[in-house]
Amino acid sequence: MPDTIYVSGNVLLNPSELNENWKSTLVGHIKKKYINCTKQHGYITKIVSISNKITSQINSDTCYIKFNVNFIAEHILPAPGKTLECTVNMLFGHGIFAEISDKIKILIPIASLKDYKFDNKNHSFIPIDKKSTKQPISKGDKVKIEISEIKYEKNRYNCIGNLK
């Protein structure tokens, strides 16, 4: 489940957008600008609420109206040691590829799956110990992982994790 953060920022509105629907236009601009991925905030997935304390000023260079906004957003920020739930989307002999909210890609290498073996026939990882209470892992399963390494590049996160 995403965490929430408080974000302060600004958006520009064209004077022609100042009509009876300016607030919904402002919300649209906030979503367009901030629902993305940054190294600072991770993936902002949803704007939860926008503060009613909105200030504005006219940009002297463009005549656009600059709105200073504060809002609460849901976000996913991977960090080493953090436990997250992800969805398995590919299994192969060297590990598992999983993702969070179709955004963050995670590799779970075979070295961290020492209690499992890869079943080529069923394309799944099954517990080595037949008496184990661990469940087989198949495509589409939800698994909990602990992030061990992260890489941020080109506005996206790729991670390596260990099964919890």
Same structural domain, 8 and 57: yes
Segments forming the whole domain that contains residue 111: 83-163
Q: Closest Cα partner for 49 from 36, 31, 66?
A: 31
Is the pLDDT score of 1 beyond 70? no
In tens, the pLDDT along 25-34 reads: 999 999 999 9
For residues 34 and 68, state if they share a domain: yes
Number of domains in the chain: 2
Does one domain contain both 93 and 62?
Answer: no
Last residue of a domain, one of 40, 60, 76: 76
> Are 134 and 103 found together in one domain?
yes
Q: Which of 59, 76, 93 is the last residue of a domain?
A: 76
Question: Counting Cβ atoms within 10 Å, is residue 62 exposed (0-12), middle (13-18) or buried (19+)?
Answer: exposed
Contact assessment for residue 115 and residue 130, using Cβ atoms and an 8 Å cutoff: no
* Boundary-marking domain end, from 76, 104, 133: 76
- Do 48 and 112 lie in a common domain? no
Residue 155: DSSP 8-state: T
53 and 101 fall within a common domain: no
The predicted-structure confidence for 88-138, as pLDDT tens digits, reads as follows 999 999 999 999 988 899 999 999 999 999 999 989 999 998 888 889 999
Q: Is the pTM of this model over 0.85?
A: no
Pair 56, 90 in one domain:
no
Residue 101 and residue 65 share a domain: no
